[in-house]
Amino acid sequence: MNAMTQARAPVQDIPHYRPTGDECTLFEMAHKNGLPLLLKGPTGCGKTRFVEHMAARLGQRLYTVACHDDLSAADLIGRYLLRGGATEWVDGPLTRAVREGAICYLDEVVEARKDVAVVLHPLTDDRRTLMIDRTGEELKAPPGFMLVASYNPGYQNVLKRMKPSTRQRFLAASFDFPDPETETAVVATESGLDAVRVAPMIRLAGRIRSLSGMDLEEGVSTRLLIYAATLVAGGMGLDRAIEAAVIEPLTDDEDVRTALRDLVATTWG
């Protein structure tokens, strides 16, 4: 399979997630009523963690697919493979989720090839069916199956845009970076670094996100802040941790990196 897929069974320990609104209630109601859900927001703001949290909270198996330019409908549905001299059908992650009544999460769905939307449409209306042309099967999604997709509106362009005919088949929720207090708590919990030392990192992130006129496609993500705090908690010096986890991942432009280092110096100065 070309799809980067992760199947996660229900676990007793629910992944940590701090709600910022009514998104948990929305997810629960969508799941209860068999409605698809679209999550919109910048990279690293917590969309994937939210889905993992809710799947565990609901006791549902989760299939996560990291979508990419070469991801095709066959990667999601399945294909015939040669095994031990015999040809056998192997279900893709979407098919497995439908058969099992699990949750299928398509991360950055707009990156996938256009034929994927054709497959998703019957699953996102009252039919809730998946047609497998190669085997002649038509699967009816059982209770418990839920389709969740996400994308980053900031990266959309003419070639990578979700069509209204697809977008309007989903409930939708917008995600953004949490407020400073919540983000501090999240980073401290995930990294093990105390909140006092995390707080300046959150201030730095806010300053970077508010910058304009710099060659940055996006501001620093909560994920990168967790990486930086984890390095510091493990004994790495603050400057080196920020360089490796924040500055270098954000840009290859030396002038921009220099400006970011100056911003770091003023934040801790």
Contacts of 21 (CB under 8 A, 6+ apart): none
Fold of 4-174: Rossmann fold (3.40.50)
What does pTM read for this prediction? 0.87
Give, for all 269 residues of the chain, the pLDDT tens digit.
444 566 665 555 889 999 989 999 999 999 999 999 999 998 889 999 999 999 999 999 999 999 999 999 999 999 999 888 889 999 999 999 999 999 999 999 999 998 999 999 999 999 999 999 989 999 999 999 999 999 988 765 545 678 888 899 999 999 999 999 999 999 999 999 999 999 999 999 999 998 855 678 788 999 999 999 999 999 999 999 999 999 999 999 999 999 999 999 999 97
Q: What is the pLDDT of residue 246?
A: 96
Q: What is the pLDDT of residue 173?
A: 97
DSSP-assigned letters across all residues of 81-96 = EEETTEEEEEE-HHHH
Residue type, 201: M
Spacing of C-alpha 60 from chain mean position: 17
* Secondary structure of residue 155 in the 3-state scheme: helix
d(CA 68, CA 109): 8
Determine the longest span between alpha carbons in the chain, in angstroms.
Answer: 67
Q: What is the pLDDT of residue 269?
A: 74
SS (H, E, C) 212-257: CCCCCCCCCCHHHHHHHHHHHHCCCCHHHHHHHHHHHHHCCCHHHH
d(CA 18, CA 180): 13
Q: What is the pLDDT of residue 171?
A: 97
Domain boundaries, the chain: 4-174, 180-268
d(CA 198, CA 169): 40
84-114: buried (b, 16+ CB within 10 Å) or exposed (e) per residue?
eeeeeeebbbbbbbbebebbbbbbbbbbbee
